[in-house]
Amino acid sequence: MNRWLGRSLWTGCARTFSTTPLRANKPRPDIKSHKSLMDLLQSDTGATSRLKTPGRVADDLLFQLRSQHQRIMPPRTGVLVGRSAPVPSPELLNRAVRQVNTMNRVNAMKETVNLQRFAERPGKARLRIRIQRKRREFNAGVRRLFQLVKRAKRQGY
């Protein structure tokens, strides 16, 4: 017999059921934009939460959204996403330059530009990728070995 019968598979404890009443069976709105989501949250006055007060769920969600982004802004889209950093004032120019440099480093832009400068034969590309993979694996092994030596040294060997 299955010993997990009637028990949660993740925690191994008995099932728990919510005491929160379900919402009225309204059709779900089609949310396609940030603005329609905000309109839905502001107009949702019949929702009930654990505190049994109307509109509390919508107020909580609005508070969470506003606390994350002091003002509600639609998500950034377009060609400049990930390629630009906001500069709200001249004093913060250094921070913006650091952000752009970090994005370039994380996305390996320097290597990508150098690789795309000239055409590469498919065989050479496969060879280069294989060499990079072996080098990465070798460096990871050396790093693991040094960590092992450090740990052994800490333990007094």
Say yes or no: 130 and 112 in one domain. Answer: no
* Per-residue pLDDT, 123: 97
CA 28 to mean position of chain CA atoms? 26
Cα Dmax for the chain: 70
Does residue 25 form part of some domain? no
Say yes or no: 111 and 134 in one domain. Answer: no
- In the DSSP assignment, the letter for residue 32 is -
Say yes or no: 114 and 135 in one domain. Answer: no
- Inform me whether the pLDDT recorded for 13 exceeds 80: no
Say yes or no: 114 and 88 in one domain. Answer: yes
**Contact call for residues 85 and 100 (beta carbons, < 8 A):** yes
Does residue 12 form part of some domain? no
Lowest mean pLDDT among 8-17, 21-30, 37-46, 138-147: 8-17
Does residue 28 form part of some domain? no
- Give the Cα separation of 2 and 7 in Å (integer): 10
| Cross-strand partners of 117 | none
- Give the Cα separation of 139 and 126 in Å (integer): 20
How many structural domains are present in the chain? 3
pLDDT tens, residue by residue, 46-76: 444 444 555 555 566 666 655 555 555 666 6
Q: Which residue matches tokens 């752009």?
A: 100
- Inform me whether the pLDDT recorded for 129 exceeds 80: yes
pLDDT tens, residue by residue, 73-102: 666 677 777 778 888 888 889 999 999 999
Does residue 38 form part of some domain? yes
**Contact call for residues 57 and 47 (beta carbons, < 8 A):** yes
Q: Give the highest mean pLDDT range of 3-12, 30-39, 89-98, 122-131.
A: 122-131
Does residue 20 form part of some domain? no
* Per-residue pLDDT, 47: 47
Q: Is 50 helix (H, G, I), strand (E, B) or coil?
A: coil
* DSSP letters spanning 90-127: GGGHHHHHHHHHHHHHHTTHHHHHHHTSS---HHHHHH
Does residue 23 form part of some domain? no
Say yes or no: 114 and 126 in one domain. Answer: no
Does residue 134 form part of some domain? yes
Domain residues for 46?
Answer: 34-68
| Cross-strand partners of 7 | 14
- Give the Cα separation of 53 and 73 in Å (integer): 28
Say yes or no: 126 and 152 in one domain. Answer: yes
Lowest mean pLDDT among 7-11, 87-91, 102-106, 111-115: 7-11
Say yes or no: 95 and 113 in one domain. Answer: yes
Does residue 26 form part of some domain? no
Using CA atoms, how far residue 132 sits from 33, 73, 118, 129, 150, in Å, is 42, 41, 19, 5, 27
